[in-house]
């Protein structure tokens, strides 16, 4: 079968790996508009059940992902940085860049053709494909182009948030809530690699506007 995957993110690459493992005879190409190593965002989290599924599906890539991941123990929820509640549990986090590198290398090892800096402008260029997998992200150009055919429905969340990285190390999965004159702001953070933590800040839209963030530039905010 001739398969084309549009998008070399985790979904597109892992689909290609899985399809190759099920039939090495598949001719699979992954198309990515960005250059190798380009990614957006910081660490992503996962739990033991997903790791078990990865091991069952492809032990080799699962071992590489686990080796690149950070284990965090416990969760803490705090109010105004003071009153704390500790919750059991553990999980893993891995930065997107090494995750994509691991999956791209595994796909290449299985003879998947991964092509970077190749924008899929028109699906007609893949007319010889038996299957086209669209995995080019939340802002998928392909999904937008064929919205009527796919019956696409897009919804937007109400809360502004920003996904950051920090050199402050959070040993636990941490939630903290801070009250301002215009409402609550909160963050959650977790370790994602050696010396780096992922830090996500969120608030309601009324708080965002009330504090004037909607009128500030990046440096000011």
The residue ranges of every structural domain in the chain are 2-72+94-146
Whether 79 shows a pLDDT value over 80: the answer reads yes
Please write the tens of the pLDDT for every residue from 121-130: 888 899 999 9
Whether 194 shows a pLDDT value over 80: the answer reads no
Whether 220 shows a pLDDT value over 80: the answer reads no
- Of 115, 121, 156, 118, nearest to 142 by C-alpha is 121
Please write the tens of the pLDDT for every residue from 109-146: 999 999 999 988 888 899 999 999 999 988 888 888 88
CATH fold for the domain made of 2-72+94-146: FAD/NAD(P)-binding domain (3.50.50)
Predicted TM-score (pTM) of this structure = 0.90
CA geometry: angle 78, 201, 98, nearest 5 deg: 105
**Residue 54 banded pLDDT, cuts 50, 70, 90:** very high
Residues 97, 39: contact at Cβ < 8 Å?
Answer: yes
């Amino acid at each position: 079968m001739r398969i084309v995957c549009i998008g070399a993110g985790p979904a597109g690459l892992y689909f290609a790996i899985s399809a190759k493992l099920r039939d090495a005879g598949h001719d699979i190409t992954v198309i990515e508009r960005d250059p190798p190593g380009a990614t957006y965002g910081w660490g992503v989290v996962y739990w033991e059940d997903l790791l078990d599924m990865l091991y069952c599906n492809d032990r080799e890539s699962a071992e590489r992902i686990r080796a690149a991941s950070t284990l965090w123990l416990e969760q803490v929820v705090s109010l105004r940085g003071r009153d704390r509640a500790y919750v059991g549990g553990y999980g893993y986090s891995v930065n997107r860049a090494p995750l994509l590198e691991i999956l791209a290398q595994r796909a290449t090892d299985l003879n998947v053709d991964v092509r970077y800096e190749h924008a899929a402008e028109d699906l007609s260029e893949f007319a010889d494909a038996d299957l086209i997998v669209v995995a080019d992200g939340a802002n998928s150009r392909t999904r937008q182009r064929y919205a009527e055919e796919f019956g696409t429905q897009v919804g937007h969340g109400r809360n502004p948030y920003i996904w950051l990285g920090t050199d402050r190390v959070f040993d636990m999965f941490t939630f903290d809530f801070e009250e301002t004159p215009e409402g609550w702001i909160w963050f959650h953070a977790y370790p994602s690699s050696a010396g780096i933590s992922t830090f996500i800040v969120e608030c309601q839209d009324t708080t965002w506007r009330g504090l004037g963030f909607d009128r500030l530039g990046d440096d000011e905010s």
